[in-house]
Amino acid sequence: MTYREAVAHGEKVLELSHIADAKTDAWLLLEMGCKIDRKFYYMHMEDDLPDDLLKEYELAVKKRAEHIPLQYIVGETEFMGLKFKVNSNVLIPRQDTETLVEEALKTVKPGMKVLDMCTGSGCIIISILHNVEGVKGYAVDISKQAVNVAKENAKLNEVPVLFERSDLFEMVTEKFDVIVSNPPYIPTNVIPQLMPEVQVFEPIEALDGKEDGLYFYRKIVEQSKDYLNSGGSLMFEIGYDQGKDVSKMMTDAGFSNVCVKKDLAGNDRVVTGML
């Protein structure tokens, strides 16, 4: 089977399994699995794919046809221009979350201490430290497996972050200038309605925000005041319909300058406030 035939076959298999971006995914699986680029492909598209690579590609296509996320199959993804390792122990970093990082970068300055609550893959704190030198970065997550992935990503991107397994602030002992968080925020009854790639394969504990999706915001807002320096900032990623509730929660708790920021699609995506 030639490279061209392999891509066409992969696309057909994925289409039959109702994969939304079948053509793109078929190409990406070939590109990443065979470690080739477009230039190589167009120069060798009529060449036979080596048997070992063909078997690897067919296996990857089979996994994607089962709706296993592409990022988990290839083991990595891109976020804020950086590479991050991912597996089923962490949520896949999404472009929506870049809005939170971009807002944080407007506030974080050299010499500050920043805590990333519910860090997952570590993409938020690592991206902040990559862009601002001299920041002391800390990150916690309830999942030991997620913390291990985040540690790998900090090493991969050559930034120093102190990671700790912690149920929210359980193991946190210091105070910070900025706390950022992308906590679980999907209401429990909404999770079964999500696409299979999310509801079946991404970690449920990183998705489930309990009955109304606001459980972890309440906990973090309530407890964060003991861990923020005076004038410190609390910054959340939120669901598209949670801006009003989370901003009121923060205002009622005594935070000032509370505001909601929109993402590129025009949806509410970030809430920030100062203590």
Distance CA 73, CA 33 (A): 9
Residue-level pLDDT at 33: 81
- Quote the pLDDT of residue 32: 84
pLDDT by residue for the chain (275 residues), tens digit each? 999 999 999 999 999 999 989 999 999 999 988 888 889 999 999 999 999 999 999 999 999 999 999 999 999 999 999 999 999 999 999 999 999 999 999 999 999 999 999 999 999 999 999 999 999 999 999 999 999 999 999 999 999 999 999 999 999 999 999 999 999 999 999 999 999 999 999 999 999 999 999 999 999 999 999 999 999 999 999 999 999 999 999 999 999 999 999 998 899 999 999 99
Assess contact for 237 and 97: CB atoms under 8 A.
yes
**Measured distance CA(202)–CA(191) in Å, rounded:** 11
- Is 57 in contact with 49 (CB distance < 8 Å)? yes
pLDDT score at 122: 98
Q: Under 8 Å CB-to-CB from 272, ≥6 apart: which residues?
A: 103, 107, 233, 234, 235, 236, 257, 258, 259, 261
Contacts of 266 (CB under 8 A, 6+ apart): none
Give first-to-last CA distance, the chain, whole Å.
62
pTM > 0.85: yes or no: yes
Q: Which of the 8 DSSP states describes residue 92?
A: P
Residue pointed to by tokens 């901003």 = 247
What count of other Cβ atoms lies within 10 Å of the Cβ of residue 210? 15
pLDDT at 140: 98
